[in-house]
Amino acid sequence: MATMDHNIVPSDLDSYWMPLTASRSFKKHPRFIVGANGMYYKDSQGNEVLDVSAGLWCVNAGHYREKINDAIAEQLKELDFAHSFNSGHPHAFRFASRLVEHFPDPLNHVFFTNSGSESVDTALKIALAYQQHKGEGTRQRLIGREKAYHGMGFGGISVGGLVKNRQNFGQLLPGTDHIRHTLDIERNAFSRGLPAHGAELAEDLLRLVDLHAAENIAAVIVEPVAGAGGVILPPEGYLQRLRDICTANGILLIFDEVITAFGRLGAASAAERFGVIPDIITTAKGITNATIPMGGVFVSDEIYNTFMSIDEPGVELSHGYTYSGHPVACAAGMATLDIYEEEQLFSRAQTLSDHWMESALSLQGEPNVIDVRTLPLIGAIELSPREGAPMQRGVEVGQKCYEKGAWVRNIGDAIVLSPPLIISEEEISQIFEIIRESIRETK
Ligand SMILES: Cc1ncc(COP(=O)(O)O)c(C=O)c1O
């Protein structure tokens, strides 16, 4: 390995409190990423590694896209910032019009945020206010799902289902509850695509309807494919069943598509991919190919029109952020959409489908591999935890992959995969061979 370049590497590692990081161990063996292009990252030691996570499920069109970079630079010269509170600039309106074209009817309106966490909080607030405006003010309960990740705001961790993100933060939002998760390795291990078993788990929502009464439930939020919980796929028929139960009980259905929107599953949205239309979709990440922070919450005509027809004059939704619809983010987003459209990246995962699934499932039978979950272009390779040291095997496989030239993430003992959509078949083969070798070399 090349030596560390001390002109690039900072000497003070304490001023910056890193997000969601084991800071003390990071600082003992820091790794600095200093460049990125296409499918590759470059680190401060001169290594080039394949980006197997599209940044953090967000760089869907690959790194260093000149079209986006140029659009950002041009926008900064024209209008660096204008707020959107009772004011407007054309870019936000234009970007919104283009975006909604890619989302299913009737989700024809988008509220801009700056992140996935903000999108989730925004969606929950819209759901509560919508129910009030409909004269259903008792509908205040928000339902999430075990193992869900909905970002780090108080709303998101309250409906989220990952204990580590919840356990140190007090009472969270009152009035939340959770349906069961759909991970069932015993019945569904090594499924090719969506697992066959578990649609009935959607009926767990009926348990909560029986417990709390439908008239007290405002909304249910789920990730169509759960990402940060370890890539958990919806069983065949599950999402439709959830949709039906929500409709029958007057409960809004929110899909958190912060990672699944913008091509991850072979369509602009998971809603389109699975043919199940929620009332609200939250997005972020791929909306600007991660160049400028941005998010968007897509809502149905019914929800939007309810707000637009309330009796009182003035602000219809007392919610918004200084940077909602930031002109530079909009410019980045429009250039990103150009690329997605020109290169047909929303359907690219379908083109790569067979190769992706076969490569992933070829790991069945390798040492300690207890499940492979795969749907183009997302996946997880679940390793059995080492006795007395859960996560350790996942960490070690991840380290070995990096040394061999592929930067993969481990979530516990699952190796999770979500490469940029520009990936080639050769690169897919290369990644899975690196993972195979790394698994074989790890006890
Ligand atoms: C499904 C989902 N929702 C929300 C978020 C939070 O997004 P952000 O980190 O941009 O706040 C994430 C982030 O990974 C996510 O996967």
Judgement on whether residues 379 and 397 belong to the same structural domain of the protein? yes
What's the pLDDT band for 256 if we cut at 50, 70, 90?
Answer: very high
Is residue 191 within 8 Å of 176, Cβ to Cβ? no
CATH of the domain at 156: 3.40.640.10
Confirm whether 218 is domain-assigned. yes
**7 part of a folded domain:** no
How much is the pLDDT for 1?
A: 36
Of ligand 1's listed atoms, the one at least distance from the Cα of 151 is: 6
Q: Which of 308, 342, 376 is the last residue of a domain?
A: 342
Q: What's the 120 CA to ligand 1 centre distance in angstroms?
A: 8
Q: Is 120 in the pocket of ligand 1 (CB under 6 A)?
A: yes
Last residue of a domain, one of 316, 342, 368: 342
pLDDT tens, position by position, 358-396: 999 999 999 999 999 999 999 999 999 999 999 999 999
**76 and 161 housed in the same domain:** yes
- What number is the average pLDDT over the span 292-316? 97
pLDDT tens-digit readout, 258-283: 999 999 999 999 999 999 999 999 99
> Is there a single domain that holds both residue 135 and residue 162?
yes
The answer to whether residue 3 scores a pLDDT higher than 90 is no
Which DSSP category does 3 fall into?
Answer: P
Residue 441 has pLDDT above 80, yes or no: yes
Identity of the residue numbered 68:
I
Residues 352 and 338 in one domain: no
Residue 417 has pLDDT above 80, yes or no: yes
pLDDT at 212 over 70: yes
Report the 10 Å Cβ neighbour count for 117: 21
Output the CA 97–ligand 1 centroid distance in Å. Answer: 24
The number of domains in the chain is 2
Q: Is 40 helix (H, G, I), strand (E, B) or coil?
A: strand
- Residue 260 CA: nearest ligand 1 atom is 1
The CATH number for 433's domain is 3.90.1150.10
Question: What would the two tokens of residue 49 be?
Answer: 């590694």
CB-based contact 126:298 (threshold 8 Å): no
Beta-bridge mates of residue 141? 217
pLDDT given for residue 260 in this prediction: 98
pLDDT value of position 6: 52
Atom of ligand 1 nearest to the CA of 115: 10
Position 226 in a domain: yes
In a domain, 56, yes or no: yes
pLDDT at 307 over 70: yes
Q: Is ligand 1 within 6 A of the CB of residue 151?
A: yes
- Is 13 a member of any domain? no
The alpha carbon of 351 and the centre of ligand 1 are apart by a number of angstroms equal to: 26
Q: What number is the average pLDDT over the span 126-133?
A: 98
Domain span at residue 393 reads 23-60+347-441
Mean pLDDT of the chain: 97
Same domain, 425 and 295: no
Residue nearest to atom 5 of ligand 1 (CA): 151
Dump pLDDT digits (tens) for 332-352: 999 999 999 999 999 999 999
Would strands 48-51 and 109-113 be described as parallel, antiparallel, or unpaired?
Answer: unpaired
In a domain, 317, yes or no: yes
* DSSP calls for 398-410: HHHHHHTTEE-EE
Shared domain for 326 and 366, answered yes or no, is: no
Say if 269 falls within a structural domain: yes
- If we measure between CA atoms, which residue out of 41, 164, 124, 75 comes closest to residue 419? 41
Q: Are residues 291 and 192 in the same domain?
A: yes
pLDDT, tens only, 34-46: 999 999 999 999 9
3-state DSSP helix/strand/coil % of the chain, to nearest 5: 40, 15, 45
Q: Please check whether residue 15 lies inside any domain of the structure.
A: no
Clarify whether residues 178 and 326 are in a common domain: yes
Amino acid type, 105: D
| Residue at a domain's end among 322, 342, 362 | 342
pLDDT band at 8 (very low <50, low <70, confident <90, very high): confident
pLDDT at 9: 81
